[in-house]
Amino acid sequence: MPSSEWKVPVVLQPKLKDCDFDLDAALASVLHISSTVPETAFSAATLGTERAGNAVLIRDTGIVLTIGYLVNEADSIWLRTGDGRVVPAHVMGIDQTTGFAVLQALGRLDVPAMPLGDSDMAQLGERMVVAGGGGRQRSVAARVVARQQFAGYWEYLVDDAIFTAPSHPNWGGTAVIGAQGELLGIGSLQLEQSRGKGITENINMSVPINLLKPVLEDLITLGQPNRPPRPWLGVYATEVEDRVILMGITDRGPGKKADLRVGDVVLAVEGKPVVTLANFYKRLWKLGNAGVEARLSILRDGQQKDVKVITADRNRVANSPRLH
């Protein structure tokens, strides 16, 4: 279905009577975003060359916030307002640690900026509006169903992610809006949650806005946080029955150079046991900054062996954004 035609079912849309703020004014701050990425980009194989989702105007000067994978390595980016106006944009900075991306709109958006709130207010059971670009018809009245750690297979960890339900069908870059019309998070993923007796429901994982505040000015002025980059292996990992298993190895990453392989079970980092993805990442990141050597104990074909990997800076592998 063309993106201009889909709508959230009416029963799931937010209602004016349930909000203590100007709902339509808040939703006007949420934009549709689309980008194109060169086929040669590092992320093209996993994320595709045409991407679409949502973004939020957070400053009247045209500063826009979204989730990084929508614009990572993009050579063209377009923002569309709720009334159909289209404005180009470029990436100012991406924070690989949190997943946030900050953009500069290259034209007048003429919509209000959404204020940043305190994401600690998004507690279990609280009502939220999870908003996509396009107003109430592209937004969901939701509740917070969990605040907990999330570990992603791409060497990513959020200690206190926001989980909401019902799920927004176009979750990437959605705005999680609190009780005062303030921005509390940015949508990242859709996941399945078990409700027992074999029943599952889809939920959204969003990145808390409080993680943006310490790095926002750096992203605007420097293009990245003013802190040393974390060690990166270039692997995709999953967690199965207290085991961390490598399910993918990136072609340009240090793991490939060190001969890590799909199916390897990571037993330890520098001799310290690994049983969960979060455990794996935290042990790796504690070794120091990007470039540090990491000794992984792995199980391969029934035999244990050590593999030494010279870690890298993830940002140096990706294509640099093109400024307009």
Q: Is residue 23 part of a domain?
A: yes
Confidence of residue 319 (pLDDT cuts 50, 70, 90): low
Of 191, 209, 227, the residue at which a domain comes to its end is: 227
pLDDT tens for residues 117-140? 999 999 999 999 999 999 999 999
Instruction: Output the domain CATH number for residue 240.
Output: 2.30.42.10
Q: Is the same domain home to 179 and 279?
A: no
d(CA 230, CA 311): 9
d(CA 130, CA 91): 24
Q: Is the same domain home to 95 and 68?
A: yes
DSSP-assigned letter for residue 97: T
Q: Is the same domain home to 3 and 133?
A: yes
Q: Is residue 321 part of a domain?
A: no
d(CA 182, CA 174): 13
Q: Is the same domain home to 221 and 271?
A: no
Examine the pLDDT at 14 and tell me if it is beyond 50.
Answer: yes
Q: Is the same domain home to 168 and 251?
A: no
d(CA 134, CA 29): 10
Instruction: Output the domain CATH number for residue 73.
Output: 2.40.10.120
* Residue-range definition of the domain harbouring residue 277: 235-316
Instruction: For residue 251, give the nearest of 30, 24, 44, 17 by alpha carbon.
Output: 44
Q: Is residue 322 part of a domain?
A: no
Angle at 35 between CA 312 and CA 104, to 5 degrees: 80
Confidence of residue 4 (pLDDT cuts 50, 70, 90): low
Q: Is residue 292 part of a domain?
A: yes
Q: Is the same domain home to 44 and 134?
A: yes
Q: Torsions phi, psi of 233, nearest 5?
A: -100, -25
pLDDT value at residue 315: 86
Q: Which residues contact 217 (CB under 8 A, 6 or more apart)?
A: none
Q: Is the same domain home to 161 and 222?
A: yes
Strand partners, 93: 102
Q: Are strands 199-208 and 156-165 parallel, antiparallel or unpaired?
A: antiparallel
Examine the pLDDT at 208 and tell me if it is beyond 60.
Answer: yes
User: Tokens 């034209």, residue?
Assistant: 107
- Residue type at 8? V
Percentage of the chain modeled with pLDDT above 90: 90
Q: Is the same domain home to 193 and 268?
A: no
The structural domain count of the chain equals 2
**Mean pLDDT calculated for residue range 220-238:** 95
Tell how far CA 286 is from the center of its chain: 22
**Mean pLDDT calculated for residue range 23-33:** 97
- Residue type at 91? V
Tell how far CA 178 is from the center of its chain: 19
Give the number of other CB atoms < 10 A from CB of residue 170.
Answer: 20
Q: Do residues 297 and 268 make contact, with C-beta atoms less than 8 angstroms apart? A: yes
Average pLDDT score over the chain: 94
Of 200, 227, 254, the residue at which a domain comes to its end is: 227
Q: Is residue 323 part of a domain?
A: no
**Mean pLDDT calculated for residue range 285-303:** 97
Q: Do residues 115 and 182 make contact, with C-beta atoms less than 8 angstroms apart? A: yes
Q: Is the same domain home to 149 and 41?
A: yes
Q: Is residue 15 part of a domain?
A: yes
Q: Is the same domain home to 173 and 271?
A: no
Q: Is the same domain home to 187 and 42?
A: yes
The full DSSP string for 263-316 is T-EEEEETTEE--SHHHHHHHHHTT-STT-EEEEEEEETTEEEEEEEE-B-GGG
**Mean pLDDT calculated for residue range 30-50:** 94
Give the number of other CB atoms < 10 A from CB of residue 71.
Answer: 27
Q: Would you mind telling me the total number of residues written for the chain in this entry?
A: 324
d(CA 37, CA 209): 26
Of 227, 247, 267, the residue at which a domain comes to its end is: 227
> Long-range contacts of range 321-324, CB-CB < 8 Å, 24 or more positions apart?
321/71, 321/73, 321/74, 321/75, 321/90, 321/91, 321/94, 322/74, 322/75, 322/90, 323/90, 324/88, 324/90, 324/106
d(CA 164, CA 155): 23
Q: Is the same domain home to 204 and 280?
A: no
Q: Torsions phi, psi of 106, nearest 5?
A: -100, 30
